[in-house]
Copies of this chain bind each other. A is one copy, B any other.
Amino acid sequence: MSKPTSTEIRLASRPTGWPTPENFETATVQLPDLAEGEVRVSNEYLSVDPYMRGRMNDAKSYAAPYALGEVMTGAAVGEVVESRAKGIALGDKVLHHLGWRSVSQGPAAAFRVVQEISGVPLSAYMGILGMTAYTAYVGLLEIARLKEGDIVFISGAAGAVGSAAGQIARLKGAARVIGSAGTDKKVALLKDKYGFDAAFNYKDAPVLEQLRAAAPEGIDVYFDNVGGDHLEAALSVFNRDGRAALCGSISSYNATEAPAGPRNMGNLITQGLSLKGYTVGFHPGLFPDFVKDMSAWLDSGEVVFEETVIEGLENAVHGFLELMRGANTGKMVIKL
């Protein structure tokens, strides 16, 4: 029997501005035999996420940068095809963070066995039941301290985090939820599928103008996935004591020059506003609450979700680049 192999995608060089396929390399490696306590997993879905762009830079951040030659690590789910670990059996479905490769193996502690839920794809453990939606949950409840009756604005609202945030805000008592997105189709989805009270296409007219029209009574909470003019607009329509959870700033991830900041920072003082940035890894405390809430919401149909599925490991880089351009609706995953 020939030795098992894994095909993996590595960071080949650091991008300046927008990444290109040349920044990545694909290689097939032979896998060693499993040691005692290890498992081997045939991956079914890989996650591509905006935060990965930051790790491609050689810059101080919350997560260490990818080393050159390192596999693009990130969330993945698959099926156990060989196990020398107690408690993980052949055929178990597992979640892990070993990234963009066809087969992953390592110590059992690197893998978490998940239960398949009828009607919910396994990939949901990387999305609506996983880190993505938990990011929305933490941002609203712990960072922005959402209160009942708040008016909430979410940018990048048709993305995986944004669409979860909009639904969580509604279910946690927001009086009104407003979203922005970059295509008319996404805007329709926000209103018709995700239950946003108002939504606009930020490419149609200046964000500030559209946000003022959508939020005539101002906003209390801003969940920021975008940065740039969205953040500046939010600072201009905040009510007193407004709170922003800064989750992402996809408008600047591929910029080659430092983007200008909001020109209205003075509003923080006059309106008593707070801006708080975060990354979910530093806020694990609400995860049990999240799992309980989200499982119930999925079960009752109060939360719905979409995925944009790209087929084939060889298309992972393409999918990642499309994600940066906003081609996804909901969570983007690579299906192997």
The interface of chain A, by Cβ under 8 A from chain B, is: 54, 60-62, 227, 231-232, 240, 246-249, 252, 258-279, 282
Contacts of A282 in B (CB 8 A): 272
Beta-carbon nearest neighbor of A243 in chain B: B276
Contacts of A247 in B (CB 8 A): 269
Taking A61-B270, A261-B264 as known contacts, 16 extra A-B pairs with beta carbons closer than 8 A to each other, sorted by chain A number, are: A62-B240, A62-B269, A246-B268, A246-B269, A249-B266, A258-B264, A259-B263, A260-B263, A261-B263, A262-B265, A268-B277, A272-B277, A272-B278, A272-B279, A273-B277, A274-B274
B274 close to A269 (CB less than 8 A): no
Chain copies in complex: 2
B270 close to A60 (CB less than 8 A): yes
Distance in angstroms between the alpha carbons of A262 and B268 in the assembled complex: 13
A269 close to B263 (CB less than 8 A): no
11 contacts between A and B (CB under 8 A): A62-B269, A62-B272, A231-B265, A258-B264, A260-B261, A260-B263, A261-B261, A261-B263, A261-B264, A273-B276, A274-B275
User: Shortest Cβ distance from A326 into chain B, in angstroms?
Assistant: 19
Distance in angstroms between the alpha carbons of A274 and B143 in the assembled complex: 10
Beta-carbon nearest neighbor of A231 in chain B: B265
Given contacts A231-B265, A265-B227, whether A270 and B277 have CB atoms under 8 Å apart is yes
Contacts of A260 in B (CB 8 A): 260-261, 263
Given contacts A261-B262, A263-B259, whether A274 and B276 have CB atoms under 8 Å apart is yes
Distance in angstroms between the alpha carbons of A272 and B63 in the assembled complex: 12
Distance in angstroms between the alpha carbons of A269 and B272 in the assembled complex: 20
Distance in angstroms between the alpha carbons of A240 and B282 in the assembled complex: 10
Distance in angstroms between the alpha carbons of A266 and B54 in the assembled complex: 10
